[in-house]
Chain A
Amino acid sequence: MTLVRVLFYFLSFIAIVSALYAASSKNLVRSIFVFFVTLFALAGLYVLALADFVAVTQIVIYVGGILVLILFAFMLSGKETLNVIKQQNSRIISLKTLPAILLAALFFIVLLNVVLKADADNLPWIRESISLKNEITPNAIMIDNIGVNLMTRYLLPFEAISILLLMALVGAAHLSRKEGKA
């Protein structure tokens, strides 16, 4: 057991348990804040996968942007939001959630089977990449390479996504305007 492995198990434990808590919590605010913990643990997992830039972006965009947006939506949609949750049955496994649990569990079994059968560590292209030393090593600095790639090889998707982001934000502003004046 190396330290990296211990850290991996620790972080994935935190991520999974906090996601389960967010899924089962009756309190919407608590569920949102626990989702916060899940996102931080996932950022840690990205660091362990040697993608530090993605981890920092995850923290900036998800934790800084998306969670604040979700909190705003929660606060702007008032008391009825909380009432809906209180009406739900207090037991974790009630008749209403049973189909959902069944669906998720069965789908998990299918996914687990696929993952174990696929045997991702022995895929041909991954073996080739390891033998060609095309694997990211822990002491490599990837950020400048990401920047160069973003502006050369992936320029078209980059521009497409920037236009899409602009359209989405204009659309969101249009949707949330006051009605009647337009």
Chain B
Amino acid sequence: MITLTDFLVVSAVLFCIGLYMIVSKRNAIQILIGIELILNAAILNLVAFGKYDKVNNSGQIFALFAIVLAAATTAVALAIILNVYRRYKTIDPNDINKLRD
């Protein structure tokens, strides 16, 4: 059988890849992909531990909630990205350094 430690190691690797993307990328969309990777690592952990809760299903249900939250995050983040692009004509986070006049 697959042990819990295997799942935890895989999700740790995914988490670190997401961290690398967030820190190093110069494009808001790729940073968003990094955030999604981190969220997926967390969901993988929830699901792996949820296997040991047959009656209440807490792990799986909160994994579902996390997926819905990720969808909401992405919708808002993309609206913000579109707005930023309209104003600055770029989505490089380094260039976005002014507040509204």
Contact = CB atoms under 8 A, between A and B. Distances in A.
B1 A4 contact: yes
A28 B29 CA distance: 8
A108 interface: yes
B96 interface: no
B69 A146 contact: no
Contact of A72 (B56, B59, B78): B78
Nearest to B88: A80
Contact of B40 (A39, A99, A105, A165): A39
A35 B25 CA distance: 15
The B interface, classified by DSSP as helix, strand, loop or mixed, is helix
Interface in B10-68: 10, 12-21, 23-24, 26-27, 29-30, 32-34, 36-37, 40, 43-44, 47-65, 67-68
B37 A49 contact: no
Interface in A1-46: 2, 4-5, 8, 12, 15-16, 19-20, 22-23, 28, 31-32, 35, 38-39, 42, 45-46
Given A16-B13, A88-B26, A134-B55, A70 B91 contact: no
B4 A146 contact: no
B99 interface: no
Contacts of B29: 28, 32, 70, 73-74, 77, 81
Given A46-B47, A120-B5, A121-B4, A164 B52 contact: no
A103 B65 contact: no
Nearest to B15: A111
Interface residues of A, number: 92
Interface in A117-149: 118-121, 125-126, 129-130, 133-136, 140, 142, 145-146, 149
Contact of B2 (A4, A76, A107, A176): A4
A99 B75 contact: no
Contacts of A28: 27, 29-30
B33 A57 contact: no
Given A49-B2, A84-B90, A115-B5, 5 more contacts: A49-B44, A73-B29, A115-B9, A142-B54, A145-B57
In the A-B complex, list the 8 residue pairs whose CB atoms are closest, starting with the nearest.
A100-B24, A168-B72, A104-B20, A175-B79, A100-B23, A120-B4, A111-B12, A108-B16
